Amino acid sequence: MATLSPEEALERARAAAEAAREAADAAAEAARTAAGYADQITAGHDGAFADGLGAAAHALSGGAIDPFVFRLSIFVLAIFVGYYVVWSVTPALHTPLMSVTNAISSVIIVGALLSVGVDLASSDGAIMARGFGFVGVVLAAVNIFGGFLVTSRMLAMYKKKG
């Protein structure tokens, strides 16, 4: 083990202190950036909740996590959770769940109708909004009416014959 002179020890201590100060400054800057993203998330500014979370993860990781990858991972996890939730439901609960699904689709159709009613003179994306709104209205309507058909057939199974 080599013995350091007092000057070498002092120089190493100064270098370590400088490195610690730089690391603290970088951590403080990352914390300020994350706090700004957290403010955006809670206030609902500049995009959706997942966008804010993706940006915060990007800032906290020092740029190692891409916001697109973060949003994609949320989407994939939602697929798996949805799959396991739906397939673990007992048959007795399918009729009430279909009613809830119809209610959710009715909320979706309200949003799609609002999108269809966008003023064409307001912005460049209004035509696309109206197109996607129309597609949303059609798909939600199919889902609602199909849900009512399935619910009525399932309820007919419980009626006494004769």
List C-alpha distances in Å: 145 to 18, 105, 136. 68, 10, 14
Does pLDDT of 111 surpass 70? yes
Tell me which of 88, 112, 141 is where a domain ends. Answer: 88
**pTM more than 0.75:** no
Tell me which of 73, 88, 103 is where a domain ends. Answer: 88
Do 84 and 95 lie in a common domain? Answer: no
Q: What is the pLDDT of residue 35?
A: 59
Do 127 and 51 lie in a common domain? Answer: no
Rounded to whole angstroms, the Cα distance separating 122 from 120 reads 6
- In three-state form (DSSP H/G/I as H, E/B as E, the rest C), the secondary structure along 123-143 is CCCHHHHHHHHHHHHHHHHHH
Q: What SS3 state is found at 25?
A: helix
Q: What is the pLDDT of residue 68?
A: 79
Over the stretch 91-108, which tens digit does the pLDDT of each residue have?
767 667 766 777 777 888
Mean pLDDT of 107-122: 79
Q: How far separated are the first and last CA of the chain, in Å rounded?
A: 98
Do 111 and 142 lie in a common domain? Answer: yes
Structural domain count of the chain: 2
Do 71 and 135 lie in a common domain? Answer: no
Which candidate, 78, 135, 127, 129, places its Cα nearest to that of 109?
135
List C-alpha distances in Å: 40 to 47, 48, 70, 116, 128. 9, 9, 17, 28, 27
Structural domain boundaries, residue 5: 1-88
Tell me which of 58, 88, 118 is where a domain ends. Answer: 88
Do 64 and 111 lie in a common domain? Answer: no
Helix pair angle (49-60, 6-43), 10° resolution: 180
